[in-house]
Amino acid sequence: MKTYDALMEFSRETGALAQVAGRLGWDQETMMPAGAADQRAEEMAAMESVLHARRSDPRLAEALDHIDPQTLDQVGQAQLRHIRRAYDRAIKVPAALSSRIARVTSRAQGIWARARADEDVAAFLPILREVIALKREEGAALAAGGDLYDAMMDDYEPGATAAQLSAMYDALRPGLTELRAAVRAAPAPAPLDHVFDEAAQMALSTKLAQAFGYDLTRGRVDKAVHPFSSGSGQDVRITTRTNPRDPFNCFYSTIHEVGHAAYEQNISRDYLLTPLGAGVSMGVHESQSRIYENQIGRSRAFTGWLYGQMRDSFGDFGIPDEDSFYRVVNRVSDGFIRTEADELQYNLHVLLRFDLERALMSGDLPVDDLEAAWNDRFWADFGFAVDRPSNGVLQDVHWSIGVFGYFPTYSLGNVFAGCLNAAMRRDLPKLDDDLARGDTSAATGWLQAKVQIHGGLYEPRDLITRACGAAPSEAPLMAYLTEKFSDLYGLRP
């Protein structure tokens, strides 16, 4: 037990340092003066180097070999599993390769940003080819003979395999394209047409954050270009943004980030700063942000309450009643951009990227053919053509910074949210009565007890299976979307 205690103390200290590094990232997006960028890069690199040295410290291997897991309880065994996984990953990739990837992707991000601004795909492809070659080398080191793409995903969704995900996604895709086509053929409501005071948006945004259980004594809300959540435990901060013509952007960004933040805030206090003290995977994280945002936040019941709040804050903004408001909140329209996509179309954007990046990694898709492949797939799924690269293959930062295997976790989060929502609605048959009063506590309490409090105790799939009483499947999400949008658009279900 002495070795285990020492290992956990070391691990908590590493956890504390990781929180510090994370907070530097928050600072960079919210507070840092622009002229500090070079120095900040050195500060981040120094923190990463300290963290890497700790995660690959040979004393960890000695301690892990020395401890008999059978002498530990379930929590101790889970802690060991996380420490071993992080150690194994840390020692598999040669330091020289990691720093080459850091250097090349830092350059690639700049080239991508310029290429996107210039609508010049050709300018981006040579460096993308370089990034892909390096990431394949890294993937091969991590996979150690196993599947390269699965090894990459393991950073974001431990235990998930591409085979498992593509089975679900391939089942999802036809239903989504069909439902999308039917909805787009039906008459759509007009969008909002009003100017909404930005300070009032932030005030209501904070009220929404609190309505979803975000604890502001252990968090804060700032504005940033891209909304995000940052930190674990007692210091979990979110950002949002305002646009005078689009208050939904502010409100639903806030609710989405509160989903992430509440997950981190609600993990058992016992796990603070340990490997169990953070969200267990990107997919589970996204399930929380998505269920807060969509299945709860965009429900008929909750939008009824939100309509009253917006009337109180902004007066008459041109929407006559709750039912009309519900339709406007859930309006489906054509669009090129993943991050702006509605609940119905979002996963089609993700599935496209998932299939393309696997083909890039396997070598089946040459980089030179990437733009054509993107545009063909977009046409097939959305029924209209990409008009320019910034609306197509150049829209996301991920590939430029070497992030492969992350995209599928967005849709996995939606799949998990679908499963959780079905189970939650079974357990809480009167939930809509609460939501209609703006009271989310039964829903967020259910999610806290079933998912959030456990932190990293269970593996992601196992966690969702326990919460829902069944293994994850795309079926509940598809059923939910079909019912919701058929009803909204008057389709025959």
Q: Which residues bind a second copy (CB under 8 A)?
A: 12-14, 16-17, 19-20, 23-24, 27, 31-40, 42-43, 45-47, 49-50, 215-220, 233-235, 237, 272-273
Of 18 and 478, CB closest to a second copy: 18
To the nearest whole angstrom, how small is the minimum distance from the Cβ of residue 44 to a second copy? 9
d(CA 441, CA 286): 19
d(CA 302, CA 299): 5
Of 43 and 197, CB closest to a second copy: 43
Instruction: Find how far residue 224's CA is from the centre of its chain.
Output: 17
Of 25 and 308, CB closest to a second copy: 25
Instruction: Find how far residue 412's CA is from the centre of its chain.
Output: 9
Q: Residue 124 in 3-state DSSP?
A: helix
CB 179: neighbour CB atoms within 10 A? 21
Contacts of residue 366, Cβ cutoff 8 Å, sequence gap at least 6: none
User: How buried is 30 (Cβ within 10 angstroms: 0-12 exposed, 13-18 middle, 19+ buried)?
Assistant: middle
Asked if 264 is an active-site residue, the reply is no
CB 140: neighbour CB atoms within 10 A? 14
To the nearest whole angstrom, how small is the minimum distance from the Cβ of residue 20 to a second copy? 5
d(CA 41, CA 21): 12
To the nearest whole angstrom, how small is the minimum distance from the Cβ of residue 31 to a second copy? 7
Contacts of residue 370, Cβ cutoff 8 Å, sequence gap at least 6: 125, 128, 356, 360, 393
Of 272 and 428, CB closest to a second copy: 272
To the nearest whole angstrom, how small is the minimum distance from the Cβ of residue 35 to a second copy? 4
To the nearest whole angstrom, how small is the minimum distance from the Cβ of residue 231 to a second copy? 9
Among 157, 257, 371, 474, the one annotated catalytic:
257
Of 43 and 119, CB closest to a second copy: 43
Contacts of residue 285, Cβ cutoff 8 Å, sequence gap at least 6: 260, 263, 279, 413
Of 27 and 342, CB closest to a second copy: 27
To the nearest whole angstrom, how small is the minimum distance from the Cβ of residue 453 to a second copy? 18
Calculate ∠ Cα 260-452-1, nearest 5°: 120
Quote the radius of gyration of the chain (alpha carbons, Å).
23
By annotation, the residues acting in catalysis are 257
